[in-house]
């Protein structure tokens, strides 16, 4: 029933193999992000990873609220630095993508104002260049005057480029993401073993049903580490999101970004790997 309700495999099928109660270690990474442009914006983000199933909880704040009254520090707990470092790399990659989504409105506004001011700058310098070139044509017979006009044209072009660079710096979003704390919590889960099938290929994967939230953790895309919901499978049964098994921006051919770093047409991948 859980799989029917929450596991969305878009281009393949799944078969339940077994399920059993277990304990999974969850890593909750808290990040603070700051966005600076002509104004400053900040916020917080929590990323909750189920390390056993390489999946993510979509409701980390709700999970924290449910746990906070019952949590107590384990005096014998010794953090594994290598494990935390490995999980941090995954959480940071997801956090960067999520912050990009959260600030999409700011990015859109900055791009809109940049386009507006760039158009005004181009119109101003375009009219100025037209005047200088028109005058240069009239005085082309005068060698000294023609030399001065060429100098004015070069200076105007340099000034226009400098103004455009200033606009880009003005409207660029400078984003800083910092880790604030890490919480390591063992939680009861239902481990669900599933056979994923794509044509003649198949693969056995473990999914985690969170016993506190009573929801299925979402698998992560094996290429970009984003949400793989709906889950897509390539011919080699890689777990992918819609971007990493999507059409080539140049020719429209659908291909797996893990199996092929580039499309057969030669266009570069539009998906960034994150391990």
pLDDT of residue 78 exceeding 90: no
pLDDT of residue 83 exceeding 70: yes
- Separation between Cα atoms, residue 64 and residue 48, nearest integer Å: 10
The residue behind tokens 């386009």 is: 115
- Whether 86 and 27 have beta carbons less than 8 Å apart is answered as no
Segment 198-251, tens digit of pLDDT: 999 999 999 999 999 999 999 999 998 888 989 999 999 999 999 899 998 888
Among 27-31, 74-78, 215-219, 268-272, which stretch is predicted with the lowest mean pLDDT?
268-272
Q: What is the pLDDT of residue 274?
A: 58
Mean pLDDT of the chain: 89
Tell me the pLDDT band of 267, cut-offs 50, 70 and 90: confident
Q: What is the pLDDT of residue 268?
A: 67
Residue 81 sits at φ, ψ, to 5 deg, of -60, -40
Give this prediction's pTM.
0.77
């Amino acid at each position: 029933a859980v799989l029917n309700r929450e596991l969305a495999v878009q281009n393949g099928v799944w078969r339940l193999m077994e399920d059993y109660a277990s304990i999974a270690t969850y890593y909750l990474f808290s990040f603070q992000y700051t966005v600076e442009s002509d104004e400053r914006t900040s916020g917080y983000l929590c990323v909750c990873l189920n390390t056993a199933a390489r999946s993510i909880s979509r409701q980390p704040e709700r999970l924290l609220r449910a746990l906070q009254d019952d949590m107590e520090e384990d005096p014998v707990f010794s953090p594994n630095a290598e494990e935390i470092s490995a999980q941090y790399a995954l959480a940071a990659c997801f956090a960067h993508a999520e912050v990009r989504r959260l600030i999409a409105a700011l990015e859109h506004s900055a791009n809109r104002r940049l386009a507006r001011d760039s158009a005004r700058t181009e119109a101003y310098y375009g009219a100025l260049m037209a005047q200088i070139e028109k005058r240069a044509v009239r005085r082309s017979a005068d060698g000294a005057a023609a030399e001065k006009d060429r100098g004015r044209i070069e200076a105007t072009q340099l000034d226009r480029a400098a103004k455009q660079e200033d606009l880009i710096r003005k409207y660029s979003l400078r984003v800083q993401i910092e880790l604030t704390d890490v919480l390591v919590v063992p939680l009861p889960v239902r481990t669900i073993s599933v056979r994923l099938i794509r044509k003649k290929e198949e693969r056995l994967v473990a999914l985690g049903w969170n016993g506190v939230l009573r929801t299925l953790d979402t698998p992560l895309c094996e290429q970009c580490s984003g949400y793989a919901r709906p889950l897509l499978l390539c011919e080699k049964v890689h777990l992918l999101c819609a971007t990493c098994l999507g059409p080539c921006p140049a020719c429209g051919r659908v291909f797996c970004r893990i199996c092929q770093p580039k499309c057969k047409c030669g266009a570069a991948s539009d998906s960034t790997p994150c391990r």
